[in-house]
Amino acid sequence: MRLIDGLNTAQRVVIVVAIGIALAVVGRYLVSLGSGFHIGWYSYRALPPRLGPPGTRLPRWLRLVIWLGLTGIWALASVIVLRPPQGPARPH
């Protein structure tokens, strides 16, 4: 018996959405690695905070691989969570 067999469809959808949000947070963190967080003062002008793709040191192909991998993980998790419970076949 799987842990999610006792859940109804709405609860399973909530789990899939939560997994998607968690993977999106992980993806943003992984893509922003190496870009740093630049904020502060330089001479007479405040530096605007910059995060993400414009200042990142990761090549575009690596960012694409990261997002495709996380999307694949999410799709696989969705198929597993949303699969109907496997039980004994009921005769009709």
**Distance (Å, whole) CA 80 – CA 82:** 6
Residues of the domain holding 49? 9-82
| Domain annotation covers residue 91 | no
Q: How many CB atoms lie within 10 A of CB 31?
A: 20
User: What pLDDT band is residue 5 in, cutting at 50, 70 and 90?
Assistant: confident
Domain presence at residue 60: yes
> What is the predicted pLDDT for the residue at 81?
93
Distance CA 30, CA 8 (A): 33
Query: What's the predicted TM-score (pTM) here?
Result: 0.69
Q: What is the share, in percent, of the chain residues with pLDDT greater than 90? A: 42
Q: Classify residue 3: in a domain, yes or no.
A: no
Residue 52: band (very low, low, confident or very high) from pLDDT cuts 50, 70, 90: very low
What is the tens place of the pLDDT at every residue in 10-38?
Answer: 999 999 999 999 999 999 999 887 665 55
d(CA 92, CA 87): 15
Domain count, the chain: 1
Give the span between the Cα atoms of 48 and 46, in whole angstroms.
6
